[in-house]
C-alpha cells in the first residue's frame, strides 16, 4: 500500500514540479527526464511526454526548437504566462496543504503514566 | 554499437508504443532520438542503457496515462422522488384483480393464478398474503362443516317418529355447498379489493 500512496502523491505534484523546473530555465526532454527520474518523480522518459502533452494542451507550457552546429536540434519547453499563474496558485495551495497534512498525520504522544 | 543500434532501438521503441496516441508516441520517439543523435557507438550503448528497454519506457507511458481511480458518488434521491424499485406497478394490480375476479371468470383456476401472482409481488406483507390465501378456504371449510352437521341433524331424531323426515326449513347439503362456493367467491373478491387498496405504491 505504501507504493500506491507514493504513486498517488507523485501523480498529484509532478505537473507542478515540471512547471517549477521550467520557470527557472527552458529545458529539453532529456534534461527534464534526468532531473525528475533522479528525484524519483517519474519512472522514465516514457512518463514525461504524456505529462508534457497534457501541460501543452492546457497551454501551461509551450515548446520551440533550437538548432545547434555542435549537436542535434532539440525541442525545448518553457512556461507560458498561464503556466506561471498556475504555478503561483499551486505554491499558495501547497503552503497551506503541507502543514495541514503534517498536523493531521503527526504521530500522537501517548500518555503511558497510567499503564 | 553504431547508428544502426540507435535505429534498431528507436524502431523497437516505436513498436512498443503502438498502443499510445500518435502525439505521445511521436513525442517520446522524437525525444529519445534527440539523445541518440550524433553519438558514437560507445556513447549510444551507454545512453540506451540509461534510457531502459523500449518495453519499460512504453509501460511508463501507459502507467502515466492510466486514469485515476475514482469511487462513484452515490447521489441520494431527491426529496419526494419515488424510490427505485425492481417491481413494475402493474404486477400488484394484476394480482389484486385476479384474486378479486379470477375465481368468478374461471372458477378455482383464476383465483389460484391470482394467489400465485400475489406471492411473487412485494407490494404486500407476508402476513397479509397469508390472510388472503387462507381466509376464503377457511370460511368455505367452516360453511361445509356446518352443512354436514346440519344434514346429520336434519336426518331426524331416533325414537321421535320423525326418522327420514326432512325439515323443509333446513337447507339441504347441496344448498350448503352452493352457499360455501358463493361465500368463497365473495371472500375472494373482498380480499382482492383489500389487496388493491393496500398495495404499496412505490
**Is residue B60 within 8 Å of A42, Cβ to Cβ?**
yes
Task: Identify the weakest region by mean pLDDT among A41-50, B1-10, B125-134.
Answer: B1-10
Interface with chain B: mutation pick from A34, A45, A64, A72, highest number of B CBs within 10 Å: A45
Q: Determine how many CB atoms are found less than 10 A away from the CB of residue A74.
A: 19
pLDDT score of B57 more than 70: yes
- What letters, b where the CB count within 10 A reaches 16 and e where it falls short, cover A89-112? ebeeeeeeeeeeeeeeeeeeeeee
Angle between helices B22-36 and A29-38 (to 10 degrees): 90
Nearest-Cα residue of chain B relative to residue A12: B68
The full set of domain ranges for chain A reads 2-94
Residue (of A77, A80, A82) closest to A32 by Cα position: A77
Higher pLDDT, B29 or B170: B29
Q: Does A75 touch chain B (CB under 8 A)?
A: yes
Instruction: Quote the minimal CA–CA distance from A109 to chain B in Å.
Output: 34
Closest approach of chain A CAs to the CA of B64, in angstroms? Answer: 5
- Of B37, B56, B63, nearest to A72 by CB-CB distance is B37
Cβ(B140)–Cβ(B179) below 8 Å: no
Q: Is the overall model pTM greater than 0.80, yes or no? A: no
Q: A74 pairs with which residues across the strands?
A: A66
Complex ipTM above 0.85? Answer: no
CA distances from A90 to A98, B27, B171 (A): 12, 26, 97
Of A28, A46, A72, the CB nearest to B61: A46
**Higher-scoring residue by pLDDT: A13, B104:** A13
Instruction: Determine which of B13, B31, B50 to mutate to test the interface with A (most A C-beta atoms within 10 Å).
Output: B31
Q: What is the DSSP string of chain A?
A: -HHHHHHHHHHHHHHHHHHHHHHHS-EEHHHHHHHHHHTTS-SSHHHHHHHHHHHHHTTSEEEEEE--SSS--EEEEEE-HHHHHHHHHHHHHHHHHHHHHHHHHSPP----TT-
* CATH fit for domain A2-94, picks 1.10.3720.10, 3.40.50.980, 1.10.10.10, 1.10.150.110: 1.10.10.10
Residues of chain B contacting residue A50, judged by C-beta atoms under 8 Å apart:
20, 24, 61, 64-65
**Separation in Å, CA B118 to CA B127, B132, B184, B199, B200:** 12, 9, 18, 10, 12
Would an 8 Å CB–CB cutoff place A10 in contact with chain B? Answer: no
Indicate yes or no: CB of A74 within 8 angstroms of CB of B68.
no
Q: How many other C-beta atoms are found inside a 10 Å radius of the C-beta of residue B13? A: 23
Write out chain A residues lying below 8 Å of B52, CB-based. Answer: 44
pLDDT for the residue B194: 87
pLDDT, tens digit, for every residue of B71-82?
455 555 555 555
CA B51 – CA B44 distance, rounded (Å) = 10
Mean pLDDT throughout B104-113? 84
Minimum mean pLDDT among A14-23, A40-49, B55-64, B128-137: which range? B128-137
Q: Does A64 touch chain B (CB under 8 A)?
A: no
Report pLDDT digits (tens) over B165-199: 566 666 666 777 777 778 888 888 888 888 888 88
Q: What angle do CA B86, B92, B93 make, to 5 degrees?
A: 130
Domain boundaries, chain B: 3-65, 89-198
What is the spatial distance between Cα A51 and Cα B31, in angstroms, rounded to a whole number?
14
DSSP tag of B95:
H
Q: What are the chain A neighbours of B56 within 8 Å (beta carbons)? A: 43-44, 46
Q: Give the cell for residue B197.
A: 387498496
CA distance B54 to chain A (A): 9
Each residue's pLDDT tens digit, A50-104: 999 999 999 999 999 998 877 788 999 999 999 999 999 999 999 999 999 999 9
Alpha helices, H only, chain B: 3-16, 22-36, 41-51, 54-65, 89-97, 103-105, 109-120, 126-154, 173-198
Q: In this structure, what DSSP letter does residue B91 have?
A: H
Amino acid at each position: 500500500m505504501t507504493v500506491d500512496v507514493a504513486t498517488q502523491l507523485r501523480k498529484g505534484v509532478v505537473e507542478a514540479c515540471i512547471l517549477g523546473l521550467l520557470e527557472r530555465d527552458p529545458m529539453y526532454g532529456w534534461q527534464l527526464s534526468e532531473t525528475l527520474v533522479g528525484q524519483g518523480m517519474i519512472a522514465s522518459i516514457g512518463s514525461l511526454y504524456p505529462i508534457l502533452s497534457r501541460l501543452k494542451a492546457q497551454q501551461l507550457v509551450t515548446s520551440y526548437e533550437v538548432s545547434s552546429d555542435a549537436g542535434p536540434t532539440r525541442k525545448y519547453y518553457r512556461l507560458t504566462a498561464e503556466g506561471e499563474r498556475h504555478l503561483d496558485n499551486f505554491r499558495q495551495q501547497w503552503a497551506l496543504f503541507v502543514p495541514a497534512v503534517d498536523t493531521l498525520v503527526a504521530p500522537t504522544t501517548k500518555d503511558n503514566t497510567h499503564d | 554499437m553504431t547508428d544502426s543500434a540507435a535505429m534498431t532501438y528507436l524502431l523497437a521503441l516505436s513498436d512498443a508504443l503502438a498502443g499510445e496516441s500518435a502525439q505521445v508516441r511521436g513525442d517520446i520517439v522524437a525525444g529519445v532520438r534527440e539523445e541518440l543523435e550524433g553519438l558514437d557507438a560507445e556513447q549510444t550503448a551507454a545512453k540506451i542503457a540509461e534510457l531502459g528497454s523500449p518495453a519499460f519506457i512504453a509501460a511508463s507511458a501507459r502507467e502515466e496515462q492510466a486514469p485515476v481511480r475514482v469511487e462513484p458518488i452515490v447521489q441520494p434521491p431527491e426529496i419526494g422522488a419515488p424510490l427505485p424499485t425492481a417491481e413494475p406497478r402493474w404486477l400488484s394490480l394484476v394480482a389484486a384483480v385476479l384474486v378479486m375476479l379470477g375465481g368468478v371468470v374461471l372458477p378455482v383456476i383464476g383465483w389460484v393464478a391470482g394467489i400465485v401472482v400475489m406471492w411473487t409481488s412485494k407490494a404486500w406483507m407476508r402476513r397479509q398474503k397469508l390472510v388472503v390465501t387462507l381466509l376464503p378456504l377457511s370460511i368455505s371449510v367452516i360453511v361445509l362443516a356446518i352443512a354436514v352437521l346440519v344434514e346429520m341433524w336434519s336426518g331426524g331424531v331416533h325414537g321421535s317418529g320423525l326418522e327420514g323426515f326432512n325439515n323443509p326449513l333446513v337447507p339441504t347439503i347441496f344448498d350448503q355447498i352452493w352457499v360455501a362456493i358463493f361465500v368463497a367467491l365473495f371472500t375472494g373478491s373482498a380480499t382482492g379489493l383489500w389487496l388493491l387498496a393496500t398495495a404499496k405504491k412505490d
